[in-house]
């Protein structure tokens, strides 16, 4: 089930691509005979929910989507089997900092008073949270910026995770697997994302980075959405984010009974938008595309290392 689970980053609801009949059949193969109704009841106990259709999937081949899901699952198993780090990355919804309404309810004796309108001009700033979730360790880290969600900011968040946690947790690692959405600052077509990975991560620390992108319209399958962001949203639900210190506090106090712990770093650096990477600079990036869906799967190596093929 772990490769077939998606979820909502705010509500925490989970759902699966498998039907109760298919799950019943898989359990029967393992020598566990149960009915479809029993499977449904167990799924509800595990936090899964029936979901209606949403028109959010971009045009594309279902076969291609399924192939990418299978390839990601294969790489995740391979990396974790070798004790190599696998991280899921994404930008959480930007938040106005100040006495603004935050959806949710809390137990209080009196209502929490907030501004009657959410005017950006009245905010102390805009919190830009970029998260890195370590799947194997069930640990997360969020860098809260105040500027823009750019490729350089996204890669700096990865660097922050590696410096503060990753290299201590994986001292012998020479390869990192990054699971990312197919748009935004870490999109598969964003040149500045690849350039920042090369210069700020690969060359600086001397290891290879493989990136696998989820198909367009499939961001909810990215593990960070339902395994970390949803827990942060629940932790600060109903409470106004009055300051950047408040944002950091709620992120750092996010935890679950299954062992999730989250750290947070404040990054006030200014990140300019519209940075262009021309063809000459792009050609110098030490990047090898995989044979499987090469637009979505690729590996970057330090410039001092020779590229190899990835079939």
Q: Does residue 311 sit within a domain? A: no
For residue 197, give the nearest of 288, 274, 83, 74 by alpha carbon: 288
Q: Does residue 119 sit within a domain? A: yes
Residues 111 and 187 in one domain: yes
Q: What is the pLDDT of residue 108?
A: 82
The pLDDT mean for the chain works out to 90
- Note the pLDDT tens digit of each residue in 171-215: 999 999 999 999 999 999 999 999 999 999 999 999 999 999 999
More confident residue, 266 or 50: 266
Which of residues 55, 73, 93 is at a domain's end? 55
Q: What is the pLDDT of residue 4?
A: 62
Please give the share of the chain, as a percent, with pLDDT higher than 90.
72
Q: Does residue 306 sit within a domain? A: no
Rounded distance, CA 260 to CA 258, Å?
6
Residues 185 and 92 in one domain: yes
- Note the pLDDT tens digit of each residue in 54-106: 655 555 567 899 999 999 999 999 999 999 999 999 999 999 999 999 998 88
Q: What is the pLDDT of residue 51?
A: 64
Q: Does residue 310 sit within a domain? A: no
For residue 209, give the nearest of 149, 147, 132 by alpha carbon: 132
Number of domains in the chain: 2
Residues 198 and 159 in one domain: yes
Rounded distance, CA 130 to CA 159, Å?
12
Rounded (10°) angle between helices 20-29 and 36-45: 100
- Note the pLDDT tens digit of each residue in 38-66: 988 887 888 776 666 665 555 556 789 99
Residues 147 and 263 in one domain: yes
Residues 174 and 291 in one domain: yes
Terminal-to-terminal C-alpha distance of the chain: 26
Rounded distance, CA 146 to CA 128, Å?
6
- Note the pLDDT tens digit of each residue in 272-295: 999 999 999 999 999 999 999 999
Residues 32 and 119 in one domain: no
Q: What is the pLDDT of residue 42?
A: 85
Task: Quickly tell me which residue has 């949803």 as its tokens.
Answer: 230
* 3-state SS, one letter per residue, for the chain: CHHHEEECCCCCCEEECCCHHHHHHHHHHCCCCCCHHHHHHHHHHCCECCCCCCCCCCCCCHHHHHHHHHHHHHHHHHHHHCCCCEEEEEECCCEEECCCCCCCCCCCCCCCCCCCCCCHHHCCEEEEEEEEEECCCCEEEEEEECCCCCHHHHHHHHHHHHHHHHHHHCCCCCEEEEEECCCHHHCCCCHHHHHHHHHHHHHHHCCEEEEEECCCCCHHHCHHHHHHHHHHHHHCCCCCCCCHHHHHHHHHCCECCCCCEEEEEEECCCCCCCCCCCHHHHHCCCEEECCCCCCCEEEECCCCCCCCCCC
Residues 168 and 27 in one domain: no
Which of residues 55, 71, 92 is at a domain's end? 55
* CA-to-CA dists, residue 127 to 19, 199, 236, 245, 267, angstroms: 39, 26, 14, 11, 10
Residues 84 and 219 in one domain: yes
Q: Does residue 305 sit within a domain? A: no
Q: What is the pLDDT of residue 213?
A: 98
CATH of the domain at 265: 3.30.420.10
Q: Does residue 308 sit within a domain? A: no
Q: Does residue 105 sit within a domain? A: yes
Which of residues 36, 55, 74 is at a domain's end? 55
Residues 123 and 215 in one domain: yes
Residues 21 and 101 in one domain: no
Residues 142 and 170 in one domain: yes
Q: What is the pLDDT of residue 47?
A: 76
Q: Does residue 141 sit within a domain? A: yes
Residues 279 and 158 in one domain: yes
Rounded distance, CA 227 to CA 245, Å?
23
Structural domain harbouring 45? 1-55
């Amino acid at each position: 089930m772990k490769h077939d689970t998606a979820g909502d980053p705010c509500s925490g609801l989970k759902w699966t691509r498998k039907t109760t009949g298919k799950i019943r059949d898989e359990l029967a193969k393992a020598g566990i005979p149960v009915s479809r109704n029993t499977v449904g009841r167990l799924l509800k106990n595990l936090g899964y929910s029936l979901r209606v259709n949403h028109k959010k999937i971009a045009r594309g081949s279902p076969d291609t989507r399924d192939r990418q899901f299978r390839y990601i699952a294969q790489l995740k198993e391979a990396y974790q089997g070798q004790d190599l780090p696998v991280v899921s990355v994404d930008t959480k919804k930007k938040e106005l900092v100040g006495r603004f309404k935050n959806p949710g309810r809390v137990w209080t004796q009196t209502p929490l008073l907030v501004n009657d309108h959410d005017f950006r001009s009245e905010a102390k700033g805009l919190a830009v949270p970029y998260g890195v979730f370590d799947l194997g360790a069930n640990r997360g880290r969020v860098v809260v910026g105040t500027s823009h969600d750019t490729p350089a900011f996204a890669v700096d968040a990865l660097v922050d995770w590696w410096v503060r946690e990753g290299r201590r947790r994986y001292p012998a690692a020479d390869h990192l697997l990054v699971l990312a959405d197919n748009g935004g600052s870490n999109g598969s077509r964003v040149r500045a994302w690849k350039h920042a990975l090369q210069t700020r991560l690969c060359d600086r620390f001397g290891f290879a980075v493989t990136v696998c992108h989820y198909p367009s319209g499939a961001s909810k399958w990215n593990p960070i959405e339902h395994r970390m962001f949803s827990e942060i949203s629940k932790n600060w639900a109903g409470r106004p984010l009055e300051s950047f210190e408040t944002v950091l506090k709620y992120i750092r106090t996010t935890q679950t009974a299954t062992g999730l712990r989250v750290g947070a770093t404040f990054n006030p650096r200014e990140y300019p938008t519209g940075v262009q990477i021309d063809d000459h600079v792009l050609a110098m990036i030490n990047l090898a595309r995989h044979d499987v869906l090469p637009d979505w799967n690729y590996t970057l190596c330090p410039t001092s290392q020779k590229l190899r093929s990835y079939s």
